[in-house]
């Protein structure tokens, strides 16, 4: 129930923010038209008024404003701690300042019209603001504050999207340029208007009483101040419903019911990995509930999907999605025994972002047995030759080595390019590695009791790219189910005594014909359907087939 409410709250926040974002976008573009002419500004204003001053537009806009404000106050009240990243603090601070900056303008142009029928036109507004330097400065500040608040809101929402990085420069440039053009448009048109005779085409009624308008403004200021102040006051009051969350090191977080386990961890300064920022997608915040699981709210659809994806046992829950109703004992899965992520979650990279990538896992088979009777120096030499070969095959194909683990390696493709291209690169790399193994075995001929053998697994899909680790030992890496599946396919290659097991999903994206290779449905733990997989006995064969025509 609580989880569903959290989802509803997030949706309302995003939808209302989008409605207001559209309004501000139109408003800013309208101001920017001042660089063309006052007539163009006025024409656009009338066009926008048809939308926003219609019955539906008014309900939509003011409904969104009210919803956004209420949701913001509710989440402010709900927060267990006001400790937060600076970008979030700025966003909240600016959002709370906005009502006070905008009341004068809104009452002047909207409330007055509703009371007296007097419609303020652009020249009226420009003349009024230009003659009052305090009002014009406040209005400019309000514009910038509204814009920065909105931009930060959308940045929080969009930064995790796979396409965001690709268009980031374009989006940032637009975000910077529009308010500048808007203010320039305002200044240039205001200068023109004060030099013009009064422009009173839209004058339809006498203006409302100034004292009345002043009183209305005061009521609004008082109302907003009371609501915001009241929220902080309510936060300070101890709640009757408190829950205790106990951690493996004996620390206890006592929080109001309605707070997530992740928020509880943060409240007591407990390091807790959360790469997707609490959106229930990365699973890195998961905890094993060792006591008190009964009676807790069931996992919502988002949490269930993430837990099923990783095949989590029944007592594992996502800390960011679990809002305990009663006391419980938890053990963070990705922190047990490690000092992991003490600082990382607050670093820029640690926020992580989702990307579609192709992943290649490779591993030397029977390597330990193979090197049992060799000197350590020989083993190191052999491993370095092998890693050299794998590293250069991956780099030549356009990928990067994420890490070497023992005698295995993890390579990623698609950090900077499209997924289809990344899949083709991964296939090319596996072919080069296959060829490299043939060459390595040739050069070690007679040195080893048996040739070196490799097993590779490849899959493509979404992964979280982020900085993980502790202090200097942290590194940029990828995590997620795609990585787990590629690793599982590497084991499948061993089971089939083949060099490569690659998901059909990856191959389909390249359009490569796989004639001559076998296709199998593989059972994967936590996955309802079989995973269609191509088994390639000799990866070097793929290089020979490279010249074969692609499917259209």
3 touching ligand FES, by CB under 6 A: no
Contact 529, 518 (CB under 8 A): no
Please state the closest distance from residue 345 (CB atom) to ligand FES, in A: 9
**Among 278, 408, 434, 436, which residue sits at the site for ligand FES (rule: CB under 6 A)?**
278
Our finding on whether 283 is near ligand FES (CB under 6 A) is yes
- Max CA distance (Å), the chain: 103
Q: Is the dihedral of CA 117, 122, 123, 128 positive or negative?
A: positive
**Site size with ligand FES, rule: CB under 6 A:** 13
**Which range in 207-215, 270-278, 403-411, 503-511 contacts ligand FES by CB under 6 A?**
270-278
**Residue 229-268 contact track with ligand FES, rule CB under 6 A, x = bound:** ----------------------------------------
Considering only 45, 281, 488, 512, the residue that binds ligand FES (CB under 6 A) is: 281
Contact between 371 and ligand FES (CB under 6 A)? no
Report how far residue 277's alpha carbon sits from residue 280's, in angstroms, rounded to the nearest whole number. Answer: 8
Determine if 282 is a binding residue for ligand FES (CB under 6 A).
yes
For residues 6 and 79, give the distance between their C-alpha atoms in angstroms, rounded to a whole number: 12
| Residue nearer to ligand FES on the CB measure, 280 or 324 | 280
- The CA distance from 410 to 207, in Å, is 72
Place of tokens 């559209």: 22
CB hemisphere CA count around 15 (13 angstroms): 12
C-alpha angle 426/428/429, rounded to 5°?
Answer: 65
Map the footprint of ligand FES across residues 142-201, applying CB under 6 A: none
The alpha-helical segments, DSSP class H, found in 337-458 are: 367-370, 376-397, 419-443
Q: Any contact of residue 276 with ligand FES (CB under 6 A)? A: yes
**In the complex, least distance from residue 256 CB atom to ligand FES, rounded to whole angstroms:** 20
Residues 6+ apart with CB under 8 A from 435: 539, 540, 543
Q: Which stretch binds ligand FES (CB under 6 A): 87-95, 108-116, 280-288, 367-375?
A: 280-288
Measured from the CB atom, the residue of 284 and 477 that comes closer to ligand FES is 284
Residue 224 and residue 103 in contact, taking contact as beta carbons nearer than 8 Å: yes
CA distance 198 to 201: 9
Closer of 285 and 465 to ligand FES (Cβ): 285
**Residue window 309-338: x/- pattern of binding to ligand FES, with contact defined by CB under 6 A:** ---------x-x------------------
What are the residues binding ligand FES (CB under 6 A)? 274-276, 278-285, 318, 320
């Amino acid at each position: 129930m609580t989880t569903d409410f959290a989802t509803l709250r997030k949706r309302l926040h995003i939808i209302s923010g989008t409605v207001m974002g559209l309004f501000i976008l139109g408003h800013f573009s309208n101001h920017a038209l001042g660089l063309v002419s006052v007539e163009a500004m006025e024409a656009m204003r009338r066009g926008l008024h048809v939308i926003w001053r219609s019955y539906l537009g008014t309900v939509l806009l003011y409904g969104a404003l009210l919803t956004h404000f209420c949701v913001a106050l509710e989440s402010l009240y709900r927060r267990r701690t006001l400790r937060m990243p600076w970008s979030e603090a700025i966003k909240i601070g600016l959002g709370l300042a906005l009502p006070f900056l905008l009341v004068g303008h809104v009452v002047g142009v909207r409330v007055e019209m509703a009371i007296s029928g007097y419609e303020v036109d652009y020249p009226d507004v420009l003349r009024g603001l230009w003659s009052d330097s305090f009002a014009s400065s406040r209005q400019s500040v309000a514009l910038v504050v509204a814009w920065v608040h909105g931009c930060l809101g959308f940045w929080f929402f969009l930064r995790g999207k796979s396409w965001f990085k690709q268009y980031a420069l374009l989006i940032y440039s637009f975000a910077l340029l529009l308010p500048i053009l808007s203010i320039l448009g305002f200044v240039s048109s205001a200068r023109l208007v004060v030099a013009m005779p009064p422009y009173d085409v839209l004058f339809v009624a006498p203006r409302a009483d100034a004292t009345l308008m002043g009183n209305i403004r005061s009521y609004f200021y008082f109302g907003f101040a009371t609501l915001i102040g009241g929220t902080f006051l309510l936060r300070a009051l101890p709640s009757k419903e408190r829950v205790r969350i106990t951690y493996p090191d004996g620390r206890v977080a006592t929080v109001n019911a309605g707070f997530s386990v992740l928020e509880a961890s943060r409240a007591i300064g407990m390091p807790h990995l959360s790469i997707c920022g609490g959106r229930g997608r990365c699973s890195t915040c998961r905890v094993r509930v060792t006591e008190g699981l009964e009676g807790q709210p069931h996992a919502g659809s988002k949490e269930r999907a993430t837990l099923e994806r990783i095949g989590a046992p029944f007592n594992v829950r996502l800390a960011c999605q679990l809002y305990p109703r009663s006391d419980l004992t938890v053990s963070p899965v990705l922190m047990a025994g490690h000092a992991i992520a003490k600082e990382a979650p607050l670093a820029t990279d640690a926020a992580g972002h989702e990307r579609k990538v192709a992943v290649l896992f490779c591993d030397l088979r029977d390597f330990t047995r193979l090197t049992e009777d060799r000197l350590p120096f020989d083993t190191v030499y052999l491993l370095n030759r092998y890693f050299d070969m794998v590293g250069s095959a991956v780099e030549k194909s356009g990928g990067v080595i994420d890490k070497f683990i023992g005698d295995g390696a993890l390579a990623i493709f698609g950090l900077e390019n499209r997924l289809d291209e990344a899949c083709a690169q991964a296939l090319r790399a596996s072919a080069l590695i296959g060829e490299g193994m043939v060459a390595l075995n040739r050069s070690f001929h007679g040195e080893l009791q048996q040739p070196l053998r490799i097993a590779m697994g490849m899959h493509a899909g979404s992964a979280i790219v982020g900085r993980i680790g502790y202090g200097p030992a942290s590194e940029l890496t990828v995590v997620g189910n795609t990585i787990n599946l590629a690793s599982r396919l590497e084991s499948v290659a061993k089971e089939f005594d083949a060099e490569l097991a690659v998901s059909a999903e990856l191959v389909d994206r390249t359009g490569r014909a796989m004639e001559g290779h076998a296709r199998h449905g593989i059972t994967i733990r936590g996955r309802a359907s079989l995973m269609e997989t191509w088994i390639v006995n000799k990866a070097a064969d793929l290089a020979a087939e490279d010249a074969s025509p692609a499917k259209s």
